[in-house]
Amino acid sequence: MTAEFQNFRAPRGQVLFREQDEGDCAYAIVAGQVEITVERNGKQVSVATLGPGEIFGEMAIISSSKRTATATVIDDCVLHRIEARQFNQRIEKMDPVMRMVIDVILSRFRTTLQRIEAGPPAFREIALAPMPYVSQAMEHLRLENEIASAVREQQFVPFYQPIICLKTGKLAGFEALLRWHHPVHGVLSPDRFIPAAEQTDLISQLTASCLLAASNDLRELRMACLNNIEHVTPAFVSVNITGRDLERTEFVYEIEAMFSADGLSPDMLKLEITESSLMTNLDKIREDLSRLRALGIQIAIDDFGTGYSSMSHLAKLPVSTLKIDRSFITDITENLPNRKIVKTIVRLARELGLPIIAEGVSSPADAAWLAGNKCEFAQGFYYSQPVPLSQALAMIRSWDPAQQELAVGNNPDGLDLTANRNVA
**What are the residues binding ligand C2E (CB under 6 A)?**
161, 177-178, 189-190, 194, 203, 206-207, 210, 240, 242, 272, 302-303, 326, 359-362, 379-381, 386
Q: What whole-number distance in Å separates Cα of residue 173 and Cα of residue 406? A: 21
Shortest Cβ 189–ligand C2E spacing (Å): 4
Buried b (16+ CB within 10 A) or exposed e, 221-235: bbebbeebeebbeeb
Question: Could you say which of Ca ion, ligand C2E, none residue 25 binds, taking C-beta under 5 to 8 angstroms by partner kind?
Answer: none
Residues with Cβ within 8 Å of 328's Cβ and at least 6 positions away in sequence, in order, are 305, 338, 341, 342, 345
CA atoms 284, 285, 290, 291: torsion sign: positive
Per partner kind, with CB cut-offs from 5 to 8 A, the member of ligand C2E, Ca ion, none near residue 162 is: none
57 versus 386: smaller Cβ distance to ligand C2E: 386
Q: Which segments of 263-398 does DSSP mark as H helices, in order?
A: 282-294, 311-316, 336-352, 364-372, 389-398
Phi-psi region of 396 (alpha: psi -120 to 50; beta: other; left: phi over 0): alpha
CB of 405 to ligand C2E, least distance (A): 17
The residue (of 103 and 245) whose beta carbon lies closer to Ca ion is 245
Q: What does DSSP say about strands 70-83 and 171-182: parallel, antiparallel, or unpaired?
A: unpaired
Stretch that binds Ca ion, among 28-36, 59-67, 236-244, 313-321 (CB under 5 A): 236-244
**Binding-site member from 103, 275, 288, 302 for Ca ion (CB under 5 A):** 302
Q: How far apart are CA 287 and CA 136, in angstroms?
A: 38
Q: Pick between residue 114 and residue 306 the one whose CB is nearest to ligand C2E.
A: 306
By the rule CB under 5 A, 288 interacts with Ca ion: no
Cβ distance to ligand C2E smaller for residue 91 or 194: 194
Cβ of residue 243: shortest distance to ligand C2E, in angstroms? 10
Answer yes or no whether residue 63 interacts with Ca ion by CB under 5 A.
Answer: no
Pairwise CA distance, residues 361 & 346, whole Å: 16
Q: How far is the CB of 306 from ligand C2E (least distance, A)?
A: 10
Name which of 16 and 239 has its Cβ closer to Ca ion.
239
245 touches Ca ion (CB under 5 A): no
Choice from 103, 217, 245, 303 touching Ca ion (CB under 5 A): 303
* Residue 275 binds which of ligand C2E, Ca ion, none (CB < 5-8 A, kind-dependent): none
Torsional sign, CA 27, 28, 34, 40: positive
Q: What single-letter DSSP state applies at residue 320? A: -
Shortest CB 348 distance to ligand C2E, Å: 20
The nearer residue to ligand C2E, 59 or 258, going by C-beta atoms, is 258
| Least distance (Å) between residue 158 CB and Ca ion | 12
Q: What are phi and psi of 115, to 5 degrees?
A: -65, -40
Q: Is 89 exposed, middle or buried (0-12, 13-18, 19+ CB in 10 A)?
A: exposed
How distant, in Å, are the alpha carbons of 269, 293, 335, 345, 360 from that of 323? 15, 17, 19, 10, 10
Which residues form the interface with Ca ion (CB under 5 A)?
A: 240, 272, 302-303, 359
